[in-house]
Structure 1
């Protein structure tokens, strides 16, 4: 019996092998014999069949909406697989919800430009996790623009500041741009002073590491009433602001202009005519929105309907209004964020937006949505962010031909009593016999560590200089375009 089964199995295996051989031969065999070419008319009729109006242009909202040729995938974006091109703007939604939850961090939008500059517009709680998952080193982010001081829009700032400094943020200060308050105690500068107090122990404990300028955070607080004021104007990048109606004075929207392209993030607020002149004709117009399904949402989210209704009507933009404003602004692409991305809301949101706006529209949610923008094309993809990413190596500017590591401000004995150090267990007791690493209990040099580029191990040179090399290559292209 067993022998018969074995013979049958052997026959089956032989048949499968023969089939595989046939398929391989068919797939990779010789080309068919040469034949007489078809007529030009037949070729054209077949290869361009179905082309509407003599060109491939389908749909009603897709003028200028198509993938750029350098994208590795038209459907998805995979971190660290694509360099931003010289004339490109890349927008990534690092946080997209007012209520933090595992699939959606609080509101945060990263904008990377082809000249190598990176900006954060809001940095809500949890968003640094998505920044890391997207393959950015924390020390690459040196400018944060906060729309207003609700915690869901700046709660990730302490982490960025503390660990961005630890992870190589030694040579450039973090600058926080944000509105004043109606009175001094409600302005961005006061918030940052409070954050300094809150992180005092952390900073002193971490002062045994290199710090340099890292703790010297700068604040660019502007008058929230100064509608149209320019708060950033460097390297061809200009950022202007205007006030928003968000229940309390001290909320702002932002417009970024660079290389003939424009990005808008309104932040939170009620629909307002002040937005229109600042956002008119912008490439990507991002605003918040709330759907008119208060009763349903209250049952899903557990928020009493009267509280939800009152919150929207004093603080936020209904979806109908978002579409209405977009129709006045006429952007190349409308996007909404600061929303719970749930299936029961999606179709309703689109229906309400479409009441007034018929042009290109996409959600800036869930987290990881990526927008590639050039003057001719815009394309939106889903970012595939890993659940357990490893941090990118710190990125440095090596134009001076050196890696400079600042001397730490303190030694452990400066900030710790000897008793607790003396009570540390002797490492010989817990390391196995024959193994004992060379412990680094004190910083190994007395001054700044200065390493010529050619003395760096190759893997460090490559990993820590990747962003710098791409930026320099892009800037060269941009300079050549400026000369022409």
Structure 2
């Protein structure tokens, strides 16, 4: 006979008891909490999580809104060599005013943008440090599929350095990319394109150290030369809302880094560890090749720490480096030879930094393995969804013979089922849909970023008004 166990759970409310004394409550609840009585641990002032983070340990895409005066930086690619946990280098900077910027767009990094819930048509400004393919290899994909996925109303702008001669500059690279993508562009012209294929290039003189690359909406980005074996490599500094983020790109340690990155809130540089012989056996690169590559192109770990100690950032991070157990402790040891301040790896992929004027916090992003694309994001200030008419059609770019060989759909659809096929674009002009005429699901998903920007703009204005009011009150008291 089977034995039947029955558990009875008492779900009644707890019995009301006499409260403990204020002294006992304070002693118990404040136990283990500094509360100004001592400094807890070895963390630094201002390195702590913000109250609005959903998790202090991890960042989950789509769960947190950027606050009006916050910067969020996500490492979408972190290695010079592609492997499943590390795509080629790409750093994504989002600002509380709704602007976003891509610094380098290495091969494979687009997968992490998708996993992070970024719509490809949101990415309109790409800043390339130099023209090694591990820093711009995903640009063709971003351009083509960003246009296909709703990038119709604003062209992609690529910012990058000139070369010593024109054929080695960013403009020439983009012209070559246009030629490479000729078939793709023409084939995709049966879809809405609008301004999406009108890629723009902002090529600046690589010698113009401290020159302004971008200045708009309170954001200023400057550049300077980097020594990376060949002329035409640059570092960038983004400044907004009294804060700054530096990404040096690749290169040898330089006095120019000290000059232009000095005092950055978030200082990010590349790093290569001094383990040539061991890495030779692990990574399959001859020691002399590794040694020569670092000494002519890159920043050793000791130099990275030295630079940080001169620049004095609120947070120092290193990326464009292999993330391996045998390397990680060595990396910290080399950096700590000079820099004793806040330090974190900008690797592996998905590391996220949240920063305000008061706090900075680094977490690991939890990116899904099989994400789907986010809905295209549109600015609905005009109160409409505007879909451009495709510039061409299959009839114009494909001979009729091959279409005539297409199998009759009635032969493969099951009996009683036959969808209404769209073999031609359904309208003969631009499609203009008033916001009130859009399905609620489309309106909600496609306008999410627009609504957040509007919300933060209102909060920023409100905060500015409060600051002015407080200043007036202080002046009256004087």
1 CA distance for matches of 2:207 and 2:261?
Answer: 17
In structure 2, which of residues 82, 92, 98 is the aligned counterpart of residue 110 of structure 1? 92
Deviation at 1:36, TM superposition (A): 5.6
Contact kept in structure 2, 1:61 and 1:358, CA below 8 Å = no
Deviation at 1:139, TM superposition (A): 0.1
The equivalences for 1:96-135 within 5 A come to 96-135=78-117
For structure 2, the residue ranges without an aligned partner over 5 or more in a row are 469-478
Deviation at 1:478, TM superposition (A): 1.6
Deviation at 1:50, TM superposition (A): 4.3
2 CA distance for matches of 1:428 and 1:47?
Answer: 73
In structure 1, which of residues 30, 35, 38 is the aligned counterpart of residue 18 of structure 2? 35
Contact kept in structure 2, 1:68 and 1:377, CA below 8 Å = yes
Q: Please list the CA deviations of residues 225-248 of structure 1 after superposition, one character each: whole Å capped at 9, or x if unmatched.
A: 000001100110000000000011
Q: Does 1:482 align with 2:464?
A: yes
Deviation at 1:31, TM superposition (A): 2.4
Length, aligned pairs only: 466
Contact kept in structure 2, 1:284 and 1:334, CA below 8 Å = yes
Which SS does the other structure have where 1:397 is aligned? coil
The equivalences for 1:11-410 within 5 A come to 14=5, 17-18=6-7, 21=8, 24-25=9-10, 28-35=11-18, 37-38=20-21, 40-52=22-34, 54-55=36-37, 57-410=39-392
1 CA distance for matches of 2:20 and 2:367?
Answer: 49
Contact kept in structure 2, 1:280 and 1:330, CA below 8 Å = yes
In structure 2, which of residues 451, 455, 471 is the aligned counterpart of residue 473 of structure 1? 455
For structure 1, the residue ranges without an aligned partner over 5 or more in a row are none
2 CA distance for matches of 1:72 and 1:439?
Answer: 44
Deviation at 1:279, TM superposition (A): 1.0
Change (3 A) 1:30 1:154: same
Q: Please list the CA deviations of residues 236-276 of structure 1 after superposition, one character each: whole Å capped at 9, or x if unmatched.
A: 00000000000110000000001111100000000111111
Change (3 A) 1:446 1:375: same
Change (3 A) 1:482 1:53: closer
Q: Does 1:422 align with 2:404?
A: yes
2 CA distance for matches of 1:29 and 1:54?
Answer: 40
1 CA distance for matches of 2:35 and 2:397?
Answer: 76
1 CA distance for matches of 2:36 and 2:271?
Answer: 39
| Over 6 Å off, 4+ runs | none
Q: Please list the CA deviations of residues 35-57 of structure 1 after superposition, one character each: whole Å capped at 9, or x if unmatched.
A: 2632x444333333345584463
1 CA distance for matches of 2:326 and 2:305?
Answer: 19
Contact kept in structure 2, 1:148 and 1:250, CA below 8 Å = yes
Deviation at 1:422, TM superposition (A): 1.1
Which SS does the other structure have where 2:255 is aligned? coil
Bigger Rg, which one: 1
2 CA distance for matches of 1:455 and 1:50?
Answer: 57
TM (norm. structure 2) is 0.96
Which SS does the other structure have where 1:208 is aligned? coil
Which SS does the other structure have where 1:247 is aligned? coil
Pairwise CA RMSD: 1.2
Deviation at 1:169, TM superposition (A): 0.2
